[in-house]
Structures are given as structure tokens and as C-alpha cells.
Structure 1
Amino acid sequence: DPIRLFKYLILKAIFGLSDVDVVERSKYDMSFKYFLDMAPEEDVIEPSTLTKFRKLRLRDTNMLDLLIGKTVELALEKGIIKSKSIIVDSTHTKARYNQKTPRETLLDYSKNLRKEVYRIDESFKSELPAKVNNGILEDEIEYCKKLLDAVKANEVLSNYPIIKEKINLLEETVEDDLEKLSLSKDEDAKVGHKTYDTSFFGYKTHLAMTEERIITSAVITSGEKHDGKQLQQLVEKSQAAGMEIENVIGDAAYSEKENLEYAKKENIQLVARLSKTVTHGNGNKSAGFEYNKDADRYVCKAGHMSVKKTKTRPKKHAEDGQGSVESYFFDVEKCKRCPQRDGCYRDGAKTKSYSVSIKTNTHQEHMDFQESEHFKEKSKERYKIEAKNSELKHRHGYDVASSSGLSGMEMQG
């Protein structure tokens, strides 16, 4: 039953258990049986079935959209959702192997196993293999195998439930690392910026939710992606889930020119304050430079953030007093070594900059809308999505990825 298998994965995520242990616990834990819709005497599945389901069956399934869509459908049926507004924002998640490499994860799990063994029988320390500390993942995997063999050889120790759980979790991690040693270099994760001088390596989850705090759509991207570029997809996914949308509430990152035009075409009111640089940049958009509103800097297609900003008023703008030009300068040393420098950086150049024209008289219609009572009232709802982001991170472990890759992040979501 795919539904029951998926419920097993939910239990596995909530309780931090291996495939073997979540199945084992479902044999005797009545709360697990109730959640899995099992009769007390019913047989459980083979752990290998869950492993195959986790690694193969769900790989190409758009599970996140399906689950969110079903949630919205039920909420609309029950009359829980009454508003016609969605609130949009993004939250960042650090890559699993940014803070901890696979080797460091193995070190933690092997240490936890040894700790439980010593707590029960400290004299067994002499029976364990010598630890390695050369920084090589393959050697750490080999050590963990020897440690597992030594503990499992002692039938008394290995049958303690707490030790059995630590054994199974370490075994599963060793198998995963052997299967995909490349996890230490997460190809999908990218550097994103929270502010000018703080960054993270990982992913972004772009969310839309109702005023009743029901999530209506989500888009998972690598960390460097711009919030505003995901607006149209969030709206379309929310509509596909059954939402009727009259207002979209967000911060200044969503007020770029393309989004204002899209909202007008769809007869949606975009409740997002104008950010002059986001809404009007006459730079070369095909070059792949994107504005980061948190850092107030541009980021190139390679993910490098500009290090300096200058502002000038060319003669043509000085005469009418309507605009200026902002130039963003990048670290030339990084440009020289960048694998994407072709067509972006000219060899031998002493500087690399990107300039945008700022015209303050643009979007007068939206500027007038910002002063309306409707805009001010709807803007007050935006705090709700900040609270939702905090809940995801602090109550549901969404601050660090539990696996590697965008597909893993979608499963975690």
C-alpha cells in the first residue's frame, strides 16, 4: 500500500529512525500501528521494501505538489479557507553536507554508538577497533564497518534496543555513503545571501499560503535563486490547487516590473512595496545578474555577490532630475578564476561592474496603490508567513537538509 509506505516515511522523519527501526517499532508501538492503520496482530512490511520505496519509487513523483493540493482541496471543502489572498516569501535551508561532511556525520553516529556501548559495558572498549583520524571518508567508512562488526558480534550488547537503533542508523548511513560518495559535493546546493555580509550554502523554499496559514504552493530552488522570479509559478500552482486569488502579499523582492505586469494581466492586486532597483533595472538581463533585496547587491550567474556599489547621475538624468545610474563592482580575482567568465569577464580587465538605471517616476500607478487603505491593511498580514517559516525551521527541522539534492529537499518538504 503506497499510502502506508509513505506514512512509514513520515514516522521515520519525525522520530529520526532508520528503515529497519521504524519497521521494528511498528511491530509493538500501538501509536505507530494506529497511524499506519494496522490491526494489532497485522504483520509488518520488510524493511527493504521501505528502502526501495524511499530511493526508487518516489524519485520522479511530484509528491510535494500532490500533498499540498490535497490539503488545499480539503481546507476549501471544510470552509477553513475563506480568504482570496495568498502571502508569498522564501525560507532558506542549509545543505546537509555544508556544515557536516559525510565523514563528520559518520563520526557523530559512530560516537553515539560507542557512547551507548560504554554506558552499558565500559570494559568492552578494549574490544573495539582503533579510531582513524586522517580525514579520509573511505577510511572512516571502513572503521565504521569494523565497529559495527565488533558490536554485533556481542549478542548481549547488540540486543539492547538503544544500541540496536544506533547500529541500524550507522549501517544505513554507511550504505548511503557507499552508494553515493558524491554527496560530499552537493551539486544542486548553491550559495545564497541573507544579507550583504552573511551567506548560506543550500536551498530556498518559496512558499505561498493563505491568510488562514494554509500553504497553497511551494517551489524548491537552489540557494542563489531570486525570490521574485518564483511569483508566477507560486500563483499558478495555488490556482491549480483550487485557490481563487485576488491579492498577492509579499515584500519588495516581488515588486519587479515583470511581476507588476503579470499581476495586472491576471487582475490580481500585488501588495508589495516598490523597491526601485528591483522594479527597474535597465541592465543586460540576459547576462544573468539578479538583485538580492536582503543584501541590496547584485549577484552574478555564478553566485558571486558584488562587493561595492556606487551611484552617479549622468548628464541626461541630471537635466530632468528623474533618475540615476547605480554600478555594482565584483571581485576581479574571483572573475579571473570563474568557470563562467566567458562572455562576462574580459581577460586582463582591472574591474568588473554591472550597471542599472534607476528612474523614480516609473510605476506611478503602483506608487499610488501603496498609499491606499487596502494596501496598508493587507500588508499587515505578511507577518504570518514569517511565523510559518520559523515554524518550519524550529519545529520541523527545515533549517538543515536531511538529504542531498533538490529531489531530497522536495521529499523533506
Structure 2
Amino acid sequence: IPDIQERLNYLKEGVDDTNEQLEYSKDQDAKIGHKTADTSFFGYKTHIAMTTDRVIVSATVTTGEKHDGKQAVNLIEKAEAAGVKADALIGDGAYSEKDNIDYTTEKGIRLASKLSENVLHGSRKKEFEFNKDAGMYVCPAGHMAIRKCKSGQEKAADGSNTRVILYFFDIEKCKTCPLREGCYKKGAKSKTYSVKIKSDTHIAQMDYMNTDEFRKLYAERYKIEAKNAELKQTLDYGEAHACGMIGMTIQAAVSIFLVNLKRIKTLENSSKDTNGKE
């Protein structure tokens, strides 16, 4: 029935507009992040660095869409400012981007992070973040790419490496995105983001990944996942208890302080037991 269909169309448009606006108005500081290509969350991320004894030595709170690997330098510098000397950085594939490899090489820090050809970032006017769990890039507005494909040649006619990975975004979202100015060209039939595949820096990291030293260091990585689980399960850190970056930062500071006290006490008791046996 045309009359009913028209009203249904109006309702559908209203719901779509409401959902789009809610995306940007719940918490002015929070942003959409992604754990996989099919799941997302609205909020913040807490990036932590800890010793192999499981004591957290530095942390940074960011909005949900931020790339984990981009926080590495900040975490190392915070740890060193607190008196902790870093001789190795152990992390997942998000930390194997070129800037981190260059930084750790210059500082003499061993980088135990498995290389991912997708985690390659250059200097861009609008920075797109790579989500390691979903294997996709996320635009500054928080929208994730819907598909990707490879393009180019390893050796083009002029001898250059033109191989890139193209990430495609939902053009319908781009058309109405509040951040479309300078990012989306009006009338365009597609929106893509390209990333060059492999550099000499990453090739060197691939060689290091095949060493026994790398494998031994990387075997310690499970500890950071266990620490994140402890924060969420014992201190209810899976949800923000207040709106805004300030509230989230306070929650992070208190939670990390408490979990560190617990760990330090455990280490002290363990030391006393060992000394007593000796």
C-alpha cells in the first residue's frame, strides 16, 4: 500500500539519521573502536607497558579508534622517565610498524613484534588507524573499511615497487560523514585508502623474527594479555565509570595503582618464602 510504504520510508530515514547522530553525541571525547571486522565498541583504550615481573610501569589512555602501535614510543619514554630501562619491547603485530622498528633500532632496544604487512604507516594529512584484530583500517570518523585488495607490481616498468593494499570504505557513510571535508570528493563512486607493501626496514625485521632470541622474547607476550584480563575481571575495568577523557584517565590511574600494589605484595611474599627456605 503506497501510503503505508511512504510512512515506513520516512520512519527508516529517521532511524538511520538518529543512529548516525548518536555515533557522535554520546560522549564528546569517546570514539568508536573495533576488536574485529564485525564488532565495535564506543569508548576508550588503555595502553600499558609492564616488566616481565608483571608490574605496570607506564600507561596511556586514548580514544577507542587509536592504533596500539602508535603509543609504543610514548610508553617507553614514560617508563624510562620513571627509572625503568627498556632493553626489549615485546608486543603483538600492531607494534611492528616502521616507525617503531626505526626507533627501537636507534635506541638499541630489541623489538619482539611479529611483522604484519598491513601495519605500515606513513605521514598523511588525515591519519587512518590500522586495527590489528579486524585487519582493516579505520578512518578518522571511526568507520572501518569494508574490504581490501592488492594492486600494483613488485617491479614496475621504471623498476620501482608499486605494490599497495587498497582499503575500500562504505561510500554511503562517506557522503554524510561530518569529517568528509577534504577526505571525500563529492560525486566519487568509491573511497579508498592505500598502503605500500613492505620496506627494507620490515625485511630486516622479518630476518630477526627467525632468530632464537626473538622466539624467546616473544614467548613472554602472554603476560600482557593476562594482565589486561586481570584488570577487567578483578577491577571491573571493562567499562568506563564516567564520561570524558579526564574521568577515564582517573579510572585508569586508580585501577593500575591497585593492581600494581597487589602484584608488588605478591612478589614480596614470594621473596620472603624463598629466603626462608634458603
TM above 0.5, yes or no, is yes
CA distance 1:317–1:195, change in 2 (3 Å): farther
The alpha-carbon distance between structure 1 residues 405 and 320, as it changes in their structure 2 partners (threshold 3 A), is same
Determine the structure 1 residue equivalent to 2:172.
Answer: 333
Structure 1 alignment gaps of length 5 or more: 1-183
Q: Assess if the C-alpha contact under 8 Å between 2:97 and 2:121 holds in 1.
A: no
1:248 to 82, 89, 104: 89
Post-superposition Cα deviations, 1:76-115, rounded to whole Å, max 9, x if no partner, equal xxxxxxxxxxxxxxxxxxxxxxxxxxxxxxxxxxxxxxxx
1:236 aligned partner, one-letter code:
E
Verify the 8 A CA contact 2:65 2:129 in the aligned structure 1: no
Q: 1:335 to 1:405 in 2, by over 3 A?
A: same
Matching residue of 2:185: 346
Structure 1 consecutive aligned stretches of length 4 or more whose deviation exceeds 6 Å:
318-323
Report how far residue 375 of structure 1 moved.
0.7
> Aligned residue for 2:142?
303
**What TM-score, normalized by structure 1, do the two folds share?**
0.53
Match of 2:248 in 1: 409
Identity %: 53
Distance 1:345 1:192 in 2: 21
Secondary structure of 2:103's counterpart equals helix
Decide which structure has the larger Cα Rg and report it. 1
1:285 aligns with 2:120: no
- Letter paired with 2:106: K
Aligned amino acid, residue 73 of structure 2:
Q
Structure 1 residues 361 and 242: CA distance shift in structure 2, 3 A: closer
Q: Does 1:275 align with 2:101?
A: no
- Residues 98 and 201 of structure 2 are in contact (CA less than 8 Å); yes or no, is this contact kept in structure 1? no
Is the Cα contact below 8 Å between 1:322 and 1:360 reproduced in 2? Answer: no
More helix by share: 1
**CA distance in structure 1 between the aligned counterparts of 2:154 and 2:162, rounded to whole angstroms:** 10
Matched, 1:215 2:56: yes
Residue 408 of structure 1: CA displacement? Answer: 0.7
Query: What are the within-5 Å matches in structure 2 for residues 395-406 of structure 1?
Result: 395-406=234-245
Contact 1:322 1:359 in 2 (8 A): no
TM-score (norm 2): 0.77
Matched residue of 1:306: which SS?
coil
Asked whether the 8 Å contact 1:231–1:259 carries over to 2, the reply is yes
Secondary structure, aligned partner of 2:179: coil
Tell me the CA shift for residue 319 of structure 1: 9.4
Q: Secondary structure at the match of 1:276?
A: coil
Return the alpha-carbon distance in structure 1 between the equivalents of residues 40 and 82 of structure 2: 33
The one-letter amino acid of 1:373's match is D
CA shift for structure 1 position 226: 0.5
Partner of 1:388: 227
Among 185, 190, 194, the residue aligned to 1:355: 194
Question: Structure 1 pair 315/222, CA: closer, same or farther in 2 (3 Å)?
Answer: closer
Q: What is the aligned counterpart of 1:313 among 123, 142, 152?
A: 152
The answer to whether structure 1 residue 364 and structure 2 residue 203 are counterparts is: yes
The equivalent position to 1:229 in structure 2, one of 70, 82, 87, is 70
- Partners of 1:267 and 1:307 lie apart in 2 by 39
Equivalent residue pairs, number: 228
Counterpart residue number, 2:47: 206
Q: CA deviation at 1:218?
A: 0.6
Deviation at 1:311, TM superposition (A): 1.5
Q: Cα offset for 1:287?
A: 2.2
